[in-house]
Amino acid sequence: MTSVQDPVQDPAVLRAAMVDALRTDPAVSDRVAAAFATVPRHLFAGGEPLARVYDPNTTLAPKVDDAGRETSVVSAAHIQAVMLEQAQIEPAMTVLEIGSSGYNAALIAELVGDRGAVTTVDIDPEIVTRATRNLRAAGYEQVRVVQADAEHGVPQHGPYDVIMVTVGAYDCPPAWRNQLSEHGRIVVPLRFAGITRLIAFDRDGDRLVGDRYRLGAFVPMQGNGAATDQMVPITGEVTLRLDTCELADFDVPALRKAVHSSGIERWSGAPFDLPDELELFLLTHGRKPVPMLHVSENMVQQGVFAASARRGVPALIEGGSFAYRTKRESPETGGFETGVIAHGPDAETVAARYIELLRRWARDYRRRDAARIEYLPAGADTKHLTGWSTTKRHGTVTVTWP
C-alpha cells in the first residue's frame, strides 16, 4: 500500500502556505516569493516542528550562550522577506551576508542566480559548521561560508553590490563601506538612540544615505563590533536606556522622587498609529538625548505607570520631571488618540512640550519613511548637520525630518 503524506506534516504544503501568507504583503515581490517557495526552510531548522518552521511570523529557536544571551537565530520569514526587498538583489550580483544561519544565504543565492556570488560570514565556528552542512544538504554548494569577525568584512571576495547584515549592529565599520561597490547598498539593523531600525543605505561616496527603514529586532553583533546600551537606573523597577555614546546627565534623585509623585494626563487630539515611526520621531526631534523609559510589570499592575512604558517608550526629561507617551480609545480619531503622562514639579511644562511633538508628527510626518537617515564616516565634516545626530566609534548617524 502506498502511504500518503499528511498535509499538515508535508514541508511542500506548509512552504506553499507560508509563501501565500508572505504574498499578502504587497511589498513582497514575485522574485522574493519564488525564492521562499524554492528553499527548504526545514533543512535549516534543526528539527523544529514543521508548523513552527513554516509559520511566516515565527523566529526559530535561538542559540543561547552560557550567560543566557541569544547569539544566533533564524529570523521570521516575514522579516527576511522585508530585508530582501530592501536589498533589491538582482541576478549576477555579488552579495555578502553578515551573520549566518545558512537559510538566508540560500534565499540570496536564488536571487543572484548562477552568475552571482554569495558569501556568508559568522564569528561562531559552530554556526559556520552548521550553516555549511545545511547549505550543502539543501544543494547550495556555491555559497561561500567564512568564519571571521564581521567587523572587518570579507575583503577577498568583494567588492559587493549588497552587504546584508542580519545581526544587530551599533555601528557601520569602515570595512563595510570600503568593500561596497561604487553604487552598492547596505541593509543593516542599526542601533541608535536606544532603538534598532532596519535601514537600507545606498552608498554616496563615503556617505551612506537611507530613506527606507523598518522596525526589526536582531541578536547583537559579537566580536570587535559588540556594544551594549547605556542603562540609567532610577529605581529598582524604573530604568532609562540610551545609546552607549550619548551623555547621560540626569538628576537621578529628583527623578526618583518624581516617580513616586502623582502623574497628570494630557491628550493631544492626534491619532495614534504607526507607533514605530512616531517613536523614531520622538527620539530624534532635537539634539538633547531622549531616553527610552522602561518599567517593571509590577509598576504597571500597581497603576503607577501606563502599559506603554512596560516595553519602552520615549521620555522627555526636564530636571526632576519627565513625561512619556500613552494612548486611549477615541471615536474622534477613529481608533486611538495619543496622550502624555507626566510626573514631577514641572509636569505641566514637560507634558506641553511632549503634546506639541505628538501634534507636529501627526500633522507633518504621519507616514512611512518620513525621515532621512545618513551615516557619515569619522573625519567627515559634520558642521552643516541640522537634524539630530549621534557620534559613534566609526562615524556619525544623523536623522533629519524634511
Q: Is 75 among the residues known to form the active site?
A: yes
Could you check whether the bond before residue 159 is cis, i.e. omega within 30 degrees of 0?
yes
Cell output for 259 = 516617580
The helix-helix angle for 77-87 and 30-38 (nearest 10°) equals 130
Half-sphere exposure in the Cβ direction for 360 (13 Å, CA): 11
**Which is nearest to 161 in space by CA: 140, 187, 182?**
182
Beta-ladder partners of 400: 372
CA 234, 167, 112 angle in degrees (round to 5)? 155
SS3 content of the chain, % helix, strand, coil (to 5): 30, 30, 40
Sheet of 195-204, strand order: 144-147, 117-122, 94-98, 160-165, 180-192, 195-204, 207-215, 372-377, 395-400, 388-391
Beta-ladder partners of 376: 396
Beta-ladder partners of 339: 267, 326
- Set 3, 29, 75, 308: catalytic member: 75
Task: Report the amino acid identity of residue 270.
Answer: A
Q: Which residue has the cell 499578502?
A: 24
Cell output for 282 = 520622538
Rounded CA gap, 246 and 376, in Å? Answer: 17
Beta-ladder partners of 313: 293
Residues with a known catalytic role: 75
